[in-house]
Amino acid sequence: MQKSLSREQKRQQKLDVILRNASKAFMERGYYKTSLDDIASMQNVTKPTLYYYIKNKEDILVKCEEVTCGRINAMLDDVMKDDVSGYEMLYNFIMKYIPIITDDVARCHVKHRGQMEDPDLAKKSIHNHKDIENRVREIIRIGIKDGSIRDCNSTILAILLFDSLNGLTSWYKSDGPVKENELIEEVLKLVTQGVSGV
């Protein structure tokens, strides 16, 4: 039993590596310009081996999504259980969202969300994101109710917020010139105070 667990763990680890490498490649060269042969050779295996871990190419996107949405929802559970103002919840959400979303697998998910060829998978993907968006809208509504967030269209605000946060994924590199602390700082200031000079 001990050994069989370790085998299962190894399997999981290899899947993780596949997702990580595939994500990296998809972000650099794009989904369609990255062949399964490319991905396979990153693990020093051959293409058919991949099919031991994934159903098909599209399944890589699905699995990246599962991992990422799982993390985000767990974080939201954590943030929303605190008994603080809506504004503080939103602040905490943003602060914790950025480190999650700058990970390669998460970036891959954000870029390809809702774009599966299988319509059912695409629908499910959009649904997953809408769920998360709704939870953030709920935070915004709480903030408006308790007066900590100014009265606004919570739908539009939630979308704009996600746009700017998810946009990070296409340019932010953890080894680039912009430090993560500074980035979080600027994003939080922009979202909370805006750009106005006074």
Partner DNA sequence: AAAATATGTTACTATCGGGTAACTTTATAA
Partner DNA sequence: TTATAAAGTTACCCGATAGTAACATATTTT
Contact set with DNA (CB under 7 A): 1, 3-4, 6-7, 10-11, 14, 32-37, 40, 44-49, 51-52, 56-58
Q: Are 144 and 154 in contact (CB under 8 A)?
A: yes
What is the smallest separation between the CB atom of 38 and DNA, expressed in angstroms?
Answer: 7
Residue 178 interacting partner from its own copies, DNA, none (CB closer than 5 to 8 Å by kind): its own copies
- CA atoms of 144 and 69, how far apart (whole Å): 26
Q: E strand or H helix at 165, and its extent?
A: helix 154-171
Residue 57 interacting partner from its own copies, DNA, none (CB closer than 5 to 8 Å by kind): DNA
What is the smallest separation between the CB atom of 126 and its own copies, expressed in angstroms?
Answer: 11
What is the smallest separation between the CB atom of 21 and its own copies, expressed in angstroms?
Answer: 20
Residue 41 interacting partner from its own copies, DNA, none (CB closer than 5 to 8 Å by kind): none
Q: Are 93 and 133 in contact (CB under 8 A)?
A: no
Counting every residue written for the chain, the total comes to 198
What is the smallest separation between the CB atom of 115 and DNA, expressed in angstroms?
Answer: 15
Residue 45 interacting partner from DNA, its own copies, none (CB closer than 5 to 8 Å by kind): DNA
The residue with tokens 């989904």 is 31
Residue 17 interacting partner from DNA, its own copies, none (CB closer than 5 to 8 Å by kind): none
Which amino acid makes up residue 81? K
- CA atoms of 82 and 55, how far apart (whole Å): 39
What is the smallest separation between the CB atom of 195 and its own copies, expressed in angstroms?
Answer: 5
Inter-CA distances, 21 with 28, 78, 108, 160, 170, Å: 11, 29, 10, 30, 17
> Where does this chain bind its own copies (CB under 8 A)?
30-33, 87, 90, 115, 117, 140, 143-144, 147-150, 152-153, 155-157, 159-164, 166-168, 170-171, 178, 182-183, 186-187, 189-198
Helix residue ranges per DSSP H, 30-118:
36-42, 47-50, 57-81, 86-101, 104-112
